[in-house]
Amino acid sequence: MVTRTPTKINRGRILVAGAIAAHPIGGGGNTWAFLQYVLGLKRLGFEVCYVEEIPAERCFDAQWNPTPLTCSHNAMYFLEVMRAFGLLGHASLWLDTDPTVRVGLPVATVEAFAREADAILNLSGRMHRQEVLQAPRKRIYVDLDPGFTQIWHEQYGVDMNLRNHDVYFTVGLCLASAECLVPSCGISWNPTVPPVVLDAWHNDEAPGPHYTTVADWRGYSPVQWQGTWYGQKSEEFLRILHLPRHTPAVLELCLAIHPNEPDLNKLREAGWRIIDPQDRAKDPMAYRHYIQRSRGEFTVVKNGYRVGRTGWFSDRTACYLASGRPAIVQDTGFSNVLPTGSGLVCFNTLEEASEALRAVESDYAWHARAARELAREHFDSDSVLQRILQLAGM
């Protein structure tokens, strides 16, 4: 779908809006979902400014107690990440109701940058401030939660900030196809895979003994569209609950799950290893280390992605592939777009999942090499981001 090309787009200025500070506890994977765009655009030679708005009710300390933004764990985490990746002086986080309450660049500096910017990449529509959003020459919306974004907007009237953008992208690779069951909201969606900065995921680690993934058990409530419910990962894991009894592979979930969740004991009794993302995914470095020391990824997807046939493809899975780790992933329709069977193997049933694990283990070294090559051919940030900008008319 996306191939590597050495040609670089002319340099300029680009804003990237995201939600890194919104998930500061065990949120290393969430951080990478946004960082890949920032670091990838910098690789292409752009001057990049990262911006983020946050509601006051999402600001808390390390024990989840409400606290003002400027002394919150959110702000501390944000600054740590910006410092670690050389983005201090090029980033700002402010309250959505009062941008004078902020860490990083003053909002006036961001607005001045925006007036000279070639584009803003509004990831999941996170930037609402019109002085920032409307100032760049191009406004690019990137949907990271296909199906749920459109149903929230169409069925529940939630403001997903879809208005007033010039071009729209989604990691739902099948969202524009007849197979997909979710609404389009009257928008012409361009499919894109999530970008991965390959150099950041170069991996010399020996593979570990466990197939792993990083997940939320219940991210948010299910939604309904035309009589069908679209749920979370919990439903799909329970469909293959007894898989550990059907494979010699060790399956480990780095899982955000409430300690009182009744399903937690079911998972353990069925043979799943459960570990805490507040340790293994506490920041982007820990998250990367966890992926790279895994044997590969094994995971289901959100029930809504499967039911809606959105073709959703995970930025996390792309990181496993870029690290030379095979990925065995429940299909959402992406197999109609991306090559599968070598390095990336998809499944729909417990029996297919067991067979996929057996197939990868039967020639692990070959699948590991194929995983890295698949990442290079389809997920390289140089190619993915250039395609986005070119389709946006840049």
Angstrom CA distances, 40 to 194, 242, 277, 383, stand at 11, 40, 26, 10
Residues 223 and 180 in one domain: no
Looking at the domain assignment, is residue 8 inside a domain? no
Looking at the domain assignment, is residue 275 inside a domain? yes
Mean pLDDT value across the chain: 95
Residues 140 and 255 in one domain: no
Residues 266 and 190 in one domain: no
Residues 66 and 155 in one domain: yes
Residue 354 has pLDDT above 50, yes or no: yes
Residues 220 and 157 in one domain: no
Looking at the domain assignment, is residue 7 inside a domain? no
The tens digit of pLDDT for each residue in 355-383 reads: 999 999 999 999 999 999 999 999 999 99
- Sort 222 into a burial class: Cβ within 10 Å, 0-12 / 13-18 / 19+: middle
Mean pLDDT computed over 64-74: 95
Looking at the domain assignment, is residue 5 inside a domain? no
Looking at the domain assignment, is residue 22 inside a domain? yes
Residues 23 and 58 in one domain: yes
The tens digit of pLDDT for each residue in 254-279 reads: 999 999 999 999 999 999 999 999 98
Of 322, 354, 359, nearest in space to 342 by CA:
359
Residues 44 and 154 in one domain: yes
Question: 64 — alpha (psi -120 to 50), left (phi > 0) or beta?
Answer: left
Domain CATH code at residue 322 = 3.40.50.2000
Tokens of 232: 């979370």
Task: Look up the pTM and report it.
Answer: 0.95
Domain CATH code at residue 125 = 3.40.50
Beta bridge partner(s), residue 312: 172
Looking at the domain assignment, is residue 3 inside a domain? no
Looking at the domain assignment, is residue 1 inside a domain? no
Do β-strands 210-216 and 296-299 pair in parallel, antiparallel, or remain unpaired? Answer: parallel
Looking at the 3D structure of the chain, how many domains does it have? 2
Amino acid in the structure at residue 302: K
d(Cα 15, Cα 360) in Å, to the nearest integer? 40
Mean pLDDT computed over 172-195: 95
Task: With residue 190 as reference, give the H or E element that holds it.
Answer: strand 189-191
Residue 344 has pLDDT above 90, yes or no: yes
Edge-to-edge strand ranges of the sheet holding 273-275: 273-275, 250-256, 210-216, 296-299, 327-330, 344-347
Residues 55 and 167 in one domain: yes
Looking at the domain assignment, is residue 285 inside a domain? yes
The pLDDT value recorded for residue 4 is 47
Beta bridge partner(s), residue 104: 92
Residues 265 and 337 in one domain: yes
Residues 58 and 185 in one domain: yes
Range of the domain at 257: 199-378
Residues 6+ apart with CB under 8 A from 186: none
Residues 217 and 157 in one domain: no
Residues 267 and 348 in one domain: yes
Amino acid in the structure at residue 220: Y
- Relative orientation angle of helices 315-322 and 284-292, to the nearest 10 degrees: 60
